[in-house]
């Protein structure tokens, strides 16, 4: 059943089913106490005996009848009922305060509880702001966090796009600017040759646009690596890195795919290994020093 079908089936009111050529009505969840509701949902046999007038149904018929009855009254799934019972048992005051103080007009927490709108209550609780009383209480409950860790649940990483507006964006821009100014100040006042790690920019929310853009760039990079080194060449993470900043016009033509390059003559735009670069730099310095007379040139004496 899709989400649209489940929403259409959540009609409320009387639940009528046909058995033995007659129509029968199941009681509404609001007419049951919470303990009775949990028991009949957890035990299919008890569901038939107390709600379905003891009709002789098979197990799959009982489960189908129970699921349709729960969907009709907005109870969600059996796990949803037990999860809501646990949350209310441990965090009733925080949940009631957070739901009743949310902006907008809606039934109160007590009214939603009495009418047994389990799915809607869980939806509201799951989408509470991260800085609400309920989430703070959950984060400080060792037993609850332990159950979440054992179940493989982890807190969401990164910055949520829901609570990231123009004010947060400007504050992050100011923080990044201050970090860049700090790096420049440290670099100017530090000893020559001493380097400090740069300040990392503040994390921003990520979306599908950024992920698709990154995947497109990686595909272009892999295509370029294939053209340069062939299908049997090294993978992009194993190949030498191309210079991105300060590229020459020829390099841009290579990256754009408008120039034909010999894979064997790539020394003009492929970084050499660190040891090779050091040797080349030392050789150039020695030649330059010899030209200005700091290092005597090798000469032959004649007799």
Instruction: Grade residue 239 by pLDDT with cuts at 50, 70 and 90.
Output: very low
Helix (H) or strand (E) holding 18: strand 15-19
Q: Per mean pLDDT, which of 4-8, 68-72, 87-91, 275-279 is the most reliable?
A: 87-91
How confident is the model at residue 212, as a pLDDT?
Answer: 86
Residue 201 structure tokens: 């920019």
Q: Using a pLDDT cut of 70, give the percent of the chain over it.
A: 76
pLDDT per residue as tens digits for the range 109-134? 999 898 888 999 999 998 888 888 99
Instruction: Grade residue 175 by pLDDT with cuts at 50, 70 and 90.
Output: very high
Q: Is the pLDDT of residue 178 over 90?
A: yes
The pTM assigned to this predicted structure is 0.60
pLDDT per residue as tens digits for the range 58-75? 888 888 888 888 888 888
pLDDT per residue as tens digits for the range 65-112? 888 888 888 888 888 888 898 999 999 999 999 998 888 767 889 998
CA distance 143 to 126: 19
How confident is the model at residue 91, as a pLDDT?
Answer: 92
How is residue 31 annotated by DSSP?
A: G
Residue found by looking up tokens 């964006």 in the block: 169
Q: Can you tell me the mean pLDDT for 244-251?
A: 42
Residue found by looking up tokens 């109870």 in the block: 75
Q: Is the pLDDT of residue 250 over 80?
A: no
Question: 122, exposed or middle or buried, with CB in 10 Å at 0-12, 13-18, 19+?
Answer: middle
CA distance 81 to 34: 10
């Amino acid at each position: 059943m899709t989400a649209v079908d489940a929403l259409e089936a959540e009609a409320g009111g009387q639940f009528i089913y046909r058995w033995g050529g007659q129509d029968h009505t199941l009681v509404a969840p609001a007419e049951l106490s919470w303990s009775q509701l949990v028991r009949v949902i957890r035990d299919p046999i008890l569901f038939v005996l107390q709600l379905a007038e003891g009709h002789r149904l098979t197990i799959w018929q009982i489960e189908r009848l129970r699921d349709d009855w729960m969907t009709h009254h907005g109870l969600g799934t059996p796990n949803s009922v037990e999860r809501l019972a646990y949350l209310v048992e441990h965090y009733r005051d925080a949940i009631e305060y957070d739901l009743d103080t949310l902006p907008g007009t809606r039934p109160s927490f007590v009214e939603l509880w009495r009418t047994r709108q389990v799915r809607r209550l869980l939806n509201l609780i799951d989408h509470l702001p991260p800085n609400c009383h309920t989430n703070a209480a959950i984060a400080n409950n060792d037993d609850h966090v332990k159950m979440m860790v054992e179940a493989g649940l982890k807190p969401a990483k990164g910055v949520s796009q829901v609570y990231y507006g123009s004010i947060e964006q400007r504050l992050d821009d100011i923080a990044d600017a201050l970090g860049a100014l700090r790096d420049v100040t440290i670099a100017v006042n530090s000893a020559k040759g001493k380097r400090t790690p740069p300040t990392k920019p503040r994390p921003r929310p990520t979306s599908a646009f950024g992920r698709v853009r990154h995947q497109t760039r990686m595909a272009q990079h892999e295509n370029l690596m294939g053209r340069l080194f062939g299908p049997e060449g090294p993978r992009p993470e194993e190949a030498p890195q191309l210079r991105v900043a300060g590229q020459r016009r020829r390099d841009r033509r290579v990256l754009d795919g408008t120039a034909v390059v010999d894979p064997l003559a790539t020394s003009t735009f492929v970084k050499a290994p660190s040891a090779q670069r050091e040797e080349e730099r030392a050789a150039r310095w020695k030649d330059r020093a010899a030209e200005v007379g700091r290092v005597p040139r090798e000469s032959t004496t004649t007799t």
